[in-house]
Structure 1
Amino acid sequence: MTNLTLSAITDPSDNPLKVDPVKLRDVIVKHHVGSIQNVVKHAYSLEEWHKLINEIQKVSLTETRLKIPFLYCIDAVHGTNFTLNSTLFPHNLGLAATRNPELVKLCAEITAKEVRASGIRYNFSPVLDVGRQPLWPRFPETFGEDVLISTIMGVASIKGYEGKSLNDFASVASCMKHFVGYSVPANGKDRAAAYIPEINLREYFLPPFKAAVDAGSHTLMVNSGEVNGTPVHASRYLLTDVLRNELNYKGIIITDWEDIKKLTERHRVAENHKEAVYLSVNAGIDMCIVPFDFSFYEDLIALVKEGRIKEERINESVKRILDLKFDLGIFERPYVEKEAVKNFGLPEYKQAALAAARESITLLKNADQVLPLEKNKKVLVVGPYANSLTALNGAWSYTWQGRKPEYFPKTDLTILEALKRKVGETNIVYKKDFKEIPSDVKPDYIIVTLGEDAYAETPGNTKSLELPSEDIEGVRNIVKMYPTIPLVYILTEGRPRLIREIEPHAKGVLMAYWPGSQGGNAVADVLYGDYNPSGKLPFTYPRYSGELMTYDHKWLDEAVEIVEPEYKYFYEFDPQYPFGFGLSYTSFELSNLKLSNDQLTGDSKIKVSVDVKNTGRKSGQETVELYSRDHFASVTPSVKRLRGFKKVELKPGETKTVEYEISASDLAFVGEDMKWITEPGAFDIMVGDLKVLLNYRRQ
């Protein structure tokens, strides 16, 4: 039940990685630790991983009483990010923009293959927290603000990681995290308090976890924060009553980093560590990421000897952990598997990373059809992120914070390098610093890279979503210097940084998110028209820091009343770019929205169909999103809710019919009794600007 970090058994110098035999035997033989995780400082080569894991495993199998093999765990959250020369994909936020669950599943499958090839069989991924607070520094790890997208993409990831069997050489155990409510801290900071009415907890935050449980995810990690005044690590209600009993979850519940200790140190619900262990194990914890010492081990044994925790309770957790090891084939094949190693670094992985990065890129503005750029024109490229691998890959990229480019593959290209390769060095002039813009360059276009560099977790806390003032001033100076030259912004960022003040200066805006190892090539392909963008925003891009509103807000959230000089009442919702927005280099037209029956009764289903036509001159992909709006309900309804999405590819002039199936459960909400209900009445069914009326009755 004890999980330690790698530094507990290694030499502090870590150059090269070296296991301390005395520490190793203290951990494995004397204290019977069953799992180890993480890296020390940075990613390792495949060979280093193999040597490390086989060395630990040999001690587990030959020097311990029961000869139980140990389990290695890792965070591989957008590719195998702690193995050198692996394939890194867009972060989940970018993957959500693809609206392509099969592509998300493929990225997870490749990640699983490279993780298992490293000798590791347990991956702390995916994040199922619904990203409804963009200040939160783990926002890029989410699939955005919508519960349906988070659910569908999360399940796709789990199926990709776990495959048909964990015993397969291409599979790893997934970990749905972080249960529950982690992503909406009241102060916007990491590991902070959230205040979530239970009706909202069940409506927006539980569904992805329920779907993940139903999909068979083997493990779950707990929210480091607290919900409504109770730390989740100490919440028997959430971990046992809800997770175990309601959702029928059978797998392992693992803590996050040092979070049992924090019940005393930060949350202050336990007067000492022993009481914290009692609270958490009683709540339902199976495995504790301690991660540096034996405090959990020692206090848990003491609690059992005192009779405060029953041995039967320990047996429950131990059985779950042993079951996972059996499922992963560690008892059969405890050492690094040669068959798995063959799956590392295959050429097609880069193509998948490129496809994911391309499909994620979201075209937010294209005034006067400035994009795609002409390849024979001169371009001035400005900004520090143009020549940065770290700003393309973000968090968890060969180091925890992702800020050390020396560990990236030498073949990965920055945006600048990809642009030069695309159109030739003579057509590209680069200036990193806004203050060094030359006045004698005669560019046809100016590309400005904006956003944010890599960060992970608490170091990524921010007090504002505003761009740095020097970037704003830099853009203004460029406009003064080159008032007639078209500007194009490329945004590489893990959350929406506000561009309100400078957006009018740009003809084009590309949202690249953190697009991963092939992000440079993908941006260049989109800029020059070798790929037609199809990404759709997975969140509402705010215009102001003080107005962070999701697309599925309530009517009252945008209601404005003015009493003087005369009474006025109106609705106001004006984000920079709305949820689901994303342009293309072609145009699409929606028509003929129809219901197979405008009366939905009981448990029956109806079909919704709509025609989508490519009315432009290029082939392109379009995501057709289906929304509903409940006219009236006993709990105030949202302005609209996403109920389905499908992506289609169309040649110029081609029309396809997109169909959905709707039942009463698709229109349900959580009622005042905390149960899902669909109430009789009228609903708008909407696709784009089209709308039809549907009436529901129970019988």
Structure 2
Amino acid sequence: MKKQMINIGFFAILLFTTVSAFSQSGVKVERIKEVESLLEKMTLEEKVGQMAQITLDKFRESADPVKLDEEKLREGLVKYKIGSILNTMKNRARTPEEWHYIISTIQEVATEETRLGIPVVYGIDAIHGTTYTAGATLFPQQIGMAATWNRELVRNGAEISAYETRASSIPWNFSPVLDMGRDPRWPRIWETFGEDVYLTSEMGMQMVKGYEGKDNDVDDPTHVASCLKHFLGYGVPFSGKDRTPAWIPEMELRERHLPSFEAAIDAGAHSIMVNSGLINGIPTHADHYLLTEVLKGELGFQGVVVTDWADIGNLHGRDHVARTQKEAVKLAVNAGIDMSMIPYTFEFCDRLVELVNEGEVPMSRINDAVRRILNMKYKLGLFDTPVTDYKDYPKFGSDEFEQVAYNSAKESITLLKNKDKVLPLSKEVKVLVTGPNANTMRPLNGGWSYSWQGELVDEFTEEYSTILEAIQSKIGKENVTYVPGVEYDLSTKKYNVEIPGDLEQVTAAAADVDYIILAIGENSYTEKPGDLHSLRLSENQIELAKTAIATGKPVIAVLNEGRPRVIGEFVSDLDGLLQAYLPGNMGGLAVADVLFGDVNPSGKLPYTYPMHVNTLMTYDYKPSEHQKKMAGMYDYESDFAIQFPFGYGLSYTEFEYSDLQLSTNNLSGDETLKISVKVTNSGDRKGKEVVQLYTSDLYASITPDVKRLRRFEKIEIEPGESQTVSFELTAKDLAFVNRKLNKVTEPGEFEVTVGGLKEKFEYTK
């Protein structure tokens, strides 16, 4: 990573290392001097306090869900010098006015009643819009944004989220998620950009730029500091359950999991949150190699490293690598943790002060952590403007912003099946709408929506349309019959409890309609509450689907789910199938517009859709994972059995690829390979197509993946017209991590694939 040099001859020798480090992210010398000056004035207790992050719940008045107990607040900010506060699972969405009161009260105590007047930095999980502010614009969850394959939409969505988060007086966002969504069992796959390294890296960079601005000017009151999460390897636990151990060879860790974080760090991200689990038996929060040697050393990350929820305590109580809580603090801070999401007690502060006084944690480590925290606070402009005012944000929740959310939702929806072109439907038909996802906003938004598990969504979304309501508006209530068939049990905290309905009513209602629209999938959930024992769709919903199919009426299913649930028992009998993912508040409208042809679908799968619970493949598999039956041999069912491939998605028009051209068939050294392809819309309506370029390394010293996504571009083409799409590749784009953990491109033969067309070229050093 390149570092620009700054003339700092007038600085003391003590400051030289600091200035060199911070110069990379464009920090002005004057600001560095301010940080160092403040750091010199701070006592050990004040420094340690900056490294502590406490939940807002700790400071609430018990009788009022919004009002703060100022005596409790003074205990935290004045006595313990706490430097950061965060939102929590117990919180629910607040109005911008309420947020302004909360943040103003906090900052008034921090800046006026403490010795040095250091402002607090407040952090929140605004992961698909400003998810904890009533009236904010909610977008599709990240997996849906990935399905758009549209960089501009991802960036615009992040810009709007930053604006509305600042309108809520909050400057720090715990987003984006850059974990790889390579295991559909994992309950947080919908928070990711899917299974591919390049797609995740590209979308992650766009999200960082959207949050932080083109030049990462986060002191701009319309931008926020981003927080990449969860470093590293969080998304592939061996069991598929959240916060459980992963076993990842370092070659794989560097090949699949590190690049998205590296790209976002290069894009200027200001903070990183750490993986709550374990990798190869080592809790990441205690992993000096990953946090200091790799993250801060190799990648040159100069921002703040913050823990996830209570994870330092887990080193003792859950993971048993620390004999006491005090030892847990020592392990984590020495490993490279800068800020602890504690979240309820102040004991971390007392323990860390003791550890420094006892020589167990060096003061240099404390100074490094606090320097990073203060630097982020200065860059956010908190010392000048600790609180932004909602009155200065007239576009909050505006029609303009909601149009972007709608555009994102409609481009995310992925058409997976369209037998005999059953879709789009005529607006003159009669339909039966059934399924547990038909008439609730909760699964459209998913978790982290108005509350942690999304269970409060319906309280805040009366003005928006469910799938049922959007269909009724589209073709008239008199043409829509609604029978739930299956409903979610809202009386329990468990997301996947269902109440089966009378399936005979479904059969009877089908007699008077032309089509059945089956809205199925999952209720809202995230993290541990979303763990499951089987990826198969629930028994109740499978029976509902079979009942609908048995009526003989054409059935169009709409999947509204956070992960690809196995539907192999009935998918072949469906006439149409849409994947809506978690499309947000505008999702019902977008689904109806696709069903009835006002929108031509253009989404593409950001993951491989499994056919069976034991065929959880990714598109970039090794050749030995697809062994077909050989003559005279048993069939071991080792074929590549998937339901739908990564990058797949149909349209209401047809696209033809032709004239794949390579600028050379012999690439060498640092030369650039130019690739072009002609794409023609041979159908009768305008459509958007995602042009995907893959390469295959045909032979290598380590068994190569069958193919890898290297480039993509989303284009729009009028019927009968053609566009030529061009890409460029260098040898660096073809590299892989070898056994010595070096990224190399070996000489040999490669193949380029675009839209089913293939061309080969040779690479020589």
Provide closer, same or farther for how the CA distance between residues 576 and 656 of structure 1 changes in structure 2, counting only shifts above 3 A: same
* Pair 1:468-2:517 in alignment: no
SS of the equivalent of 2:716 reads strand
Counterparts of 1:377-456 in structure 2, within 5 Å, are 377-434=429-486, 435=502, 436-437=505-506, 439=508, 441-456=511-526
CA distance in 2, matches of 1:479, 1:527: 18
| 1:572 Cα offset (Å) | 2.1
Report SS of the residue matched to 2:643. coil
How many residue pairs match? The answer is: 694
2:234 aligns with: 182
CA deviation after TM superposition for structure 1 residue 335, in Å:
2.4
Map of 1:531-570 to 2, 5 A cutoff?
531-560=599-628, 565-566=632-633
Larger CA deviation: 134-143 vs 32-41: 32-41
User: Could you tell me how far 1:560 is from its partner in structure 2?
Assistant: 4.7
Q: Deviations over 1:7-50 (max 9, x none)?
A: 110023444x1111221111111110011010433111111100
Q: Are 2:99 and 1:49 aligned?
A: yes
- 1:661 is matched with which residue? 728
SS of match in other structure, 1:286: coil
SS at match of 2:610: coil
Deviation at 1:61, TM superposition (A): 1.4
Tell whether 2:192 aligns with 1:124: no
**Which amino acid in structure 1 is aligned with residue 324 of structure 2?**
N
- Give 1:204 deviation, angstroms: 0.4
**Residue-by-residue CA offset, 1:260-307 (whole Å, 9 max, x unaligned):** 000011111000110000000000000000000012111100101111
Partner of 2:296: 244
Q: Distance in 1 between matches of 2:527 and 2:639?
A: 33
Q: Of the candidates 663, 666, 670, which is equivalent to residue 603 of structure 1?
A: 670
Within 5 A, what are the aligned runs for 1:128-277?
A: 128-163=178-213, 164=215, 165-277=217-329
Q: 1:540 to 1:430 in 2, by over 3 A?
A: same
**Match of 2:156?**
106
Counterpart contact for 1:84–1:407, Cα < 8 Å: no
Distance 2:528 2:555 in 1: 34
1:510 aligned residue: 578
CA distance in 1, matches of 2:137, 2:211: 15
Amino acid at match of 1:42: R
One-letter amino acid of the structure 2 residue matched with residue 137 of structure 1? P
Between 403-412 and 470-479, the greater mean CA deviation after superposition: 403-412
Per-residue deviation, 1:312: 2.0
Does the Cα contact within 8 Å between 1:219 and 1:251 map onto a contact in 2? yes
Distance 1:231 1:620 in 2: 47
Q: Which whole-Å CA distance do the structure 2 matches of 1:477 and 1:384 have between them?
A: 14
Quote the residue 1:498 is aligned against. Answer: 566
666-675 or 425-434, larger mean C-alpha shift: 425-434
1-side partners of 2:713 and 2:764: how far apart?
27
Out of 329, 332, 352, which is 1:300 matched to?
352
Deviations 1:464-521 (A, max 9, x none): 11011111111222233x21x1100000001001110010221000000000010011
Q: 1:36 aligns with which of 85, 93, 108?
A: 85
For 1:453, give the aligned amino acid.
Answer: N
Match of 2:646 in 1: 579
Q: Secondary structure at the match of 2:696?
A: strand
Q: Secondary structure at the match of 1:613?
A: strand
Amino acid at match of 2:190: P
Deviates more, 1:363-372 or 1:326-335: 326-335
Note the residue ranges of structure 2 that are not aligned, 5 or more in a row: 1-50, 487-501
Cα deviation for residue 598 of structure 1 reads 0.8
Q: Does 1:64 align with 2:134?
A: no
Shift of 1:409: 3.0
Cα shift readout 1:353-373 (whole Å, capped 9, x = no counterpart): 000000000000000100000
8 A Cα contact 2:440 2:458, kept in partner: no
Verify the 8 A CA contact 1:170 1:340 in the aligned structure 2.
no
Percent same amino acid at aligned positions? Answer: 50
Q: How far apart in 2 are the matches of 1:596 and 1:570?
A: 41
Counterpart in the other structure of 2:20: none
2:89 pairs with 1:22: no
Q: Counterpart amino acid of 1:535? A: G
Distance 1:566 1:135 in 2: 32
Structure 1: stretches of 5+ with no match in the other structure = none
Matched residue, 1:330: 382
SS across alignment from 2:378? helix
Q: 1:224 touches 1:232 (CA, 8 Å); kept in 2?
A: yes
TM-superposed deviation, 1:71? 1.2
Q: CA deviation at 1:438?
A: 5.0
Cα pair 1:43 1:407 within 8 Å, conserved = no
Structure 1: distance between partners of 2:365 and 2:201? 31
Which amino acid is the alignment partner of residue 439 of structure 1?
A: A
Is 1:459 aligned with 2:529? yes
2:398 maps to 1:342:
no
Task: Map residues 652-691 of structure 1 onto 2, 5 A cutoff.
Answer: 652-691=719-758
Measure the CA separation in 1 of the matches of 2:601 and 2:104: 45
Deviation, structure 1 residue 688: 2.0
Q: Deviations over 1:638-662 (max 9, x none)?
A: 0111111011111110000011001
Tell me which amino acid in the other structure corresponds to 1:693.
K
Instruction: Give the match for residue 370 of structure 2.
Output: 318
Distance 2:451 2:297 in 1: 38
Whole-Å separation in 2 of the counterparts to 1:566 and 1:389: 51
The answer as to whether partners of 2:168 and 2:389 remain within 8 angstroms in 1 is no
CA distance in 1, matches of 2:476, 2:607: 36
TM (norm. structure 1) is: 0.98
Question: Would the aligned equivalents of 1:562 and 1:569 in 2 still touch at CA under 8 Å?
Answer: no
2-side partners of 1:273 and 1:566: how far apart?
A: 58
Aligned mates of 2:358, 2:671 — CA distance in 1 = 57
Q: What do the CA deviations read for 1:436-464 (whole angstroms, capped 9, x no partner)?
A: 31515411110001110100111000111
TM superposition shift of 1:570 = 10
In the TM superposition, what is the alpha-carbon distance from 1:334 to its structure 2 partner?
1.4
Question: Counterpart in 1 of 2:44?
Answer: none
AA matched with 2:747:
P
Give yes or no for contact 2:441–2:461 (8 Å, CA) kept in 1: no
